């Protein structure tokens, strides 16, 4: 987690006439947080949903009743979150508007505000849309021209089928995803239950650079993939997991 406390003098570039501050002051007690979102190659990211929620800090400046404030990036990656009450907030990434999946395909690499660059204290392979960036806003201060750099999160998307090619549609399965590091010095994994969609697909975000195997159980039958490599920002979308049996009537 990163904490950025914005002090009024710092915001306005006090004592530095040549510094073009990314902050401005307007009448009223509400703030604006605006800028653009780009990927690691500086290409704008369209359709990304940014949300801010009150930081979990007790006090009158952070009422628990506040709802999330959101903005979706446009074609040039631009966003603007307006009418923000004074207090401590956390910036998150979410999926597109209207999506049933709350997670975003992206994670935050860095945030640049003027001459200040903030980078999470984590490796690329641990990106998560739920890792927040915390900041505080002064009444009436507009934070503009913020540059948020993101990278696609690693993901496995697989199709589950029976021996005759029939997809396991809308079926609840148990999955195990195992991984080992590139140097062979460590391993890890995740497990759980999820439901396939109408075409037999499921997807799962992963957080480690390394070699992967994916196994699926459905009732009394199971199957496992061959080992494959995933690097930072990569998606494996062509994985097919085939049961060695026909569908049960």
Using the 3D structure, point to which of 152, 178, 196 is the last residue of a domain: 152
Closest listed residue to residue 21, CA positions, set 115, 138, 149, 136 = 115
DSSP structure class, residue 120: -
Is there a contact between 194 and 175 (Cβ–Cβ < 8 Å)? yes
Q: What per-residue confidence (pLDDT) applies to 10?
A: 40
Domain that holds residue 26: 2-152
148 and 191 within one domain: no
* Same domain as 52, residue 88: yes
Question: What residue ranges of the chain have pLDDT lower than 50?
Answer: 1-19, 23, 57-65, 100, 123-126, 129-130
d(CA 28, CA 42): 35
How many domains would you assign to the chain?
Answer: 2
| Nearest alpha carbon to residue 211 among 244, 241, 189 | 189
Same domain, 165 and 146: no
Burial 154-178 (b: 16+ CB within 10 A, else e): bbbebbbbbeeeebbeebebebebb
> Phi, psi at residue 214, to the nearest 5°?
-125, 130
Quote the pLDDT of residue 51. 84
Look at the pTM and tell me if it is higher than 0.75.
no
pLDDT at res. 25: 52
pLDDT on residue 202: 95
- Same domain assignment for residues 42 and 97: yes
pLDDT for the residue numbered 187: 84
Position 20 scores a pLDDT of 54
- Please state the length of the chain: 249
pLDDT at 97: 57
Query: d(Cα 16, Cα 96) in Å, to the nearest integer?
Result: 40
Report if residue 164 sits inside a domain: yes
> Are 68 and 111 in a shared domain?
yes
């Amino acid at each position: 987690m990163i904490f950025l406390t914005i002090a009024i003098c710092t915001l306005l570039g006090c004592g530095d006439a040549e510094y073009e501050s990314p902050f401005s002051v307007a009448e009223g007690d509400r703030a604006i947080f605006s800028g653009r979102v780009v990927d690691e190659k500086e290409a704008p990211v369209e359709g990304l949903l940014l949300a801010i929620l009150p930081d979990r800090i007790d006090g009158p400046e952070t009422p628990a009743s506040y709802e999330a404030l959101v903005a979706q990036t446009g074609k040039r990656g631009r966003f603007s979150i307006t009418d923000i009450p004074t207090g401590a907030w956390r910036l998150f990434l979410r999926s597109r508007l209207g999506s049933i999946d709350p997670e975003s395909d992206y994670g935050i690499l860095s945030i640049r505000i003027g001459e200040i660059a903030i980078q999470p204290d984590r490796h690329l392979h641990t990106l998560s849309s739920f890792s927040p960036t915390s900041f505080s806003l002064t009444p009436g201060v507009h934070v503009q021209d913020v540059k948020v750099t993101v990278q696609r999160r690693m993901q496995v998307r697989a199709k589950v089928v029976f021996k005759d090619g029939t997809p396991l549609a809308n079926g609840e399965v148990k999955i195990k995803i195992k991984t080992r590091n590139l140097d062979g010095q460590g391993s890890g994994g995740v497990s759980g239950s999820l439901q396939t969609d109408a075409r037999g697909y499921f997807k799962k975000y992963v957080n480690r650079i390394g070699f992967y195997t994916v196994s699926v159980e459905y009732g009394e039958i199971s199957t496992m993939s061959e080992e494959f490599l995933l690097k930072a920002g990569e998606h494996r979308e062509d994985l097919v997991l085939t049961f060695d049996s026909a569908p049960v009537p």
